[in-house]
C-alpha cells in the first residue's frame, strides 16, 4: 500500500515507568505480607517451584500465585529461572523466614484493609474485590468522566510512539476498540492526515470522546461508535488497523481470544491488529510496574498482565500471521499480527 501522507513527528515524552510504579506500587507491602502469611518463603526453602505448584500448595488461585511471584521477584525477594521456577534470594532467606535469626516480623497488621482485600481476591477466582469501574452505562456521569479521564492520563504519554507504528503508514481506516475519550485516536489522526479513525466504546464514554475530538478540531476524521465490544452487534468492518490499547489485561485469556477473533473479522485482508500493553517479562519476574499492575487486575478485574509470547499466541490462534512484538513507549510493547490476504 502506498502511503498517502507524511508521518508527522511526535514530541519526545519522558518515560513514565516511575509514575506507573508509584501508582501501582501500593501493592508491594500487602503482597509481601501475604506471601509471608501464606508461608511462600518457607515453601521455597525446600526447592524452587513454579506458579502452578505454588498455587496448589498455598491454596490460592493460579492468577494470584503468578501476581504474587512476579512482585516478589521484581523486588528481588525471589529469583526466576528459565523453566518457570522461583527460588529464594539471599535477602528473603535472611530476613523473611520466620525461623531465621534476622527475621523482620510483620510489615502490616493482619486486619490491614489492603491485605484483607488481597487475601480475599487470592482465594476466589473472577471476584472483583475493589472494582475500578462498573458498567459505565449504569454509572453517574461524574463517575464516568472521572474514570475516563484517569485512564486518558495514562494513555496520552504513549500516544506519539503508538501513532508512529509502521502498520499505520498508508492505512485509511483505523478502529480503536474500548478507546475511551479518544486520546490515542486523536494522536493517530494527527500523525496521519489521510486516516479516518473510529473510537468504539460505550455511550457515556463516547459522549466524552466527542467533546475531546471536537476540541482537537478532528470531528471530520475521528468519530465515535457506541457499541459494547463483547455484545451482539458487529464492529465496523474493512478496517486497515484495529487497536486494543491497555484493554486485554482487563480480561481472562478466553475473552482476549474472542476479542482477537472479532478484530480478525473487522479487518480487511492484509489489515493489522495492534495490542498495546505493559507486558511482563517472559520469566514473569518483572518489571515491577507490570507485576504490581497484575495485582491491580487481581483485585479489580478478571485479567492480568500478559507476556509478549502469551499475547502473540492469542493472535496466532485467531489466525493472524507475521505476529511479532515491538517495544513502544517506556515499558509498553505493541504485539501485532496481520490478517492473511
Least confident piece of the model among 84-88, 126-130, 209-213, 276-280: 126-130
The most confident of the ranges 14-28, 197-211, 265-279 is 265-279
- Round to whole Å and give the CA distance between 303 and 300: 9
SS3 221: coil
Q: How confident is the model over 188-206, as pLDDT tens digits? A: 999 999 999 999 999 999 9
**Would the pLDDT of 314 be above 50?**
yes
Percent of the chain with pLDDT over 70: 92
Span 28-55, average pLDDT: 97
Span 156-175, average pLDDT: 91
What's the pLDDT score for residue 1? 36
Q: How confident is the model at residue 4 (pLDDT cuts 50, 70, 90)?
A: very low
What's the pLDDT score for residue 146? 77
What's the pLDDT score for residue 129? 52
260 or 126, greater pLDDT: 260
What's the pLDDT score for residue 128? 58
What's the pLDDT score for residue 5? 42
What's the pLDDT score for residue 23? 84
> Residue 178 region, left (φ>0) first, then alpha (ψ -120 to 50), else beta?
left
Kindly list the structural domains of the chain, giving each domain's residue range(s) and its CATH number in brackets, ordered by start.
17-123 (1.10.10.10), 138-338 (3.40.50.150)
Q: How confident is the model at residue 134 (pLDDT cuts 50, 70, 90)?
A: low
- Round to whole Å and give the CA distance between 234 and 248: 19
Q: How confident is the model at residue 211 (pLDDT cuts 50, 70, 90)?
A: very high
Span 39-56, average pLDDT: 97
User: How much helix, strand and coil, in percent to the nearest 5, is found in the chain?
Assistant: 45, 15, 35
What's the pLDDT score for residue 16? 85
pTM above 0.85, yes or no: yes
Q: How confident is the model at residue 155 (pLDDT cuts 50, 70, 90)?
A: confident
Span 6-24, average pLDDT: 74
Q: Which residue among 27, 249, 276, 301 is the active-site one?
A: 249
**Would the pLDDT of 10 be above 70?**
no
What's the pLDDT score for residue 11? 60
What's the pLDDT score for residue 6? 44
User: In this structure, which long-range contacts are made by residues 324-329, counting pairs with CB atoms below 8 Å and at least 24 apart in sequence?
Assistant: 325/279, 326/165, 328/158, 328/161, 328/162, 328/165, 328/276, 329/13, 329/15, 329/16, 329/157, 329/158, 329/160, 329/161, 329/162
Question: Is 276 a residue of the active site?
Answer: no
Query: Mean pLDDT of all residues in the chain?
Result: 91
Least confident piece of the model among 1-10, 257-266, 321-330: 1-10
Q: How confident is the model at residue 136 (pLDDT cuts 50, 70, 90)?
A: low
74 or 149, greater pLDDT: 74
Q: Could you please report the per-residue DSSP string of 176-200?
A: EET-TTSHHHHHHHHH-TT-EEEEE
Amino acid at each position: 500500500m502506498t502511503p498517502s501522507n507524511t508521518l508527522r513527528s511526535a514530541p519526545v515524552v519522558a518515560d513514565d515507568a516511575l509514575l506507573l510504579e508509584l501508582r501501582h506500587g501500593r501493592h508491594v507491602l500487602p503482597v509481601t505480607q501475604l506471601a509471608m502469611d501464606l508461608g511462600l518463603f518457607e515453601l521455597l526453602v525446600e526447592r524452587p517451584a513454579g506458579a502452578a505448584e505454588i498455587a496448589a500448595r498455598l491454596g490460592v488461585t493460579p492468577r494470584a500465585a503468578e501476581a504474587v511471584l512476579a512482585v516478589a521477584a521484581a523486588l528481588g525477594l525471589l529469583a526466576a529461572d528459565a523453566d518457570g521456577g522461583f527460588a529464594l534470594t539471599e535477602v528473603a532467606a535472611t530476613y523473611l523466614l520466620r525461623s531465621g535469626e534476622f527475621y523482620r516480623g510483620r510489615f502490616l497488621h493482619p486486619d490491614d484493609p489492603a491485605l484483607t482485600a488481597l487475601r480475599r481476591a487470592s482465594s476466589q477466582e473472577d471476584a472483583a474485590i475493589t472494582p475500578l469501574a462498573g458498567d459505565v452505562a449504569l454509572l453517574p456521569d461524574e463517575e464516568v468522566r472521572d474514570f475516563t479521564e484517569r485512564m486518558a492520563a495514562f494513555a496520552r504519554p504513549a500516544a506519539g510512539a503508538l501513532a508512529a507504528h509502521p502498520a499505520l503508514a498508508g492505512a485509511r481506516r483505523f478502529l480503536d476498540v474500548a478507546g475511551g475519550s479518544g486520546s490515542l485516536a486523536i494522536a493517530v489522526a494527527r500523525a496521519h492526515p489521510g486516516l479516518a479513525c473510529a473510537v468504539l466504546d460505550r455511550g457515556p464514554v463516547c459522549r466524552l470522546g466527542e467533546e475531546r475530538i471536537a476540541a482537537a478540531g478532528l470531528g471530520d476524521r475521528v468519530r465515535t461508535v457506541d457499541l459494547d465490544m463483547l455484545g451482539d452487534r458487529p464492529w465496523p468492518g474493512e478496517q486497515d488497523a484495529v487497536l486494543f490499547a491497555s484493554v486485554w489485561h482487563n480480561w481472562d485469556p478466553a475473552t482476549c481470544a474472542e476479542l482477537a477473533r472479532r478484530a480478525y473479522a473487522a479487518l480487511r485482508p492484509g489489515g493489522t491488529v495492534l495490542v498495546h500493553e505493559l507486558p511482563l517479562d517472559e520469566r514473569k519476574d518483572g518489571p515491577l510496574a507490570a507485576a504490581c499492575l497484575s495485582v491491580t487486575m487481581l483485585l479489580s478485574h478478571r485479567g492480568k498482565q500478559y507476556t509478549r509470547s502469551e499475547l502473540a499466541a492469542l493472535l496466532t490462534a485467531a489466525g493472524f500471521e507475521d505476529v511479532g512484538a515491538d517495544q513502544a513507549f517506556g515499558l509498553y510493547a505493541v504485539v501485532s499480527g496481520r490478517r492473511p490476504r
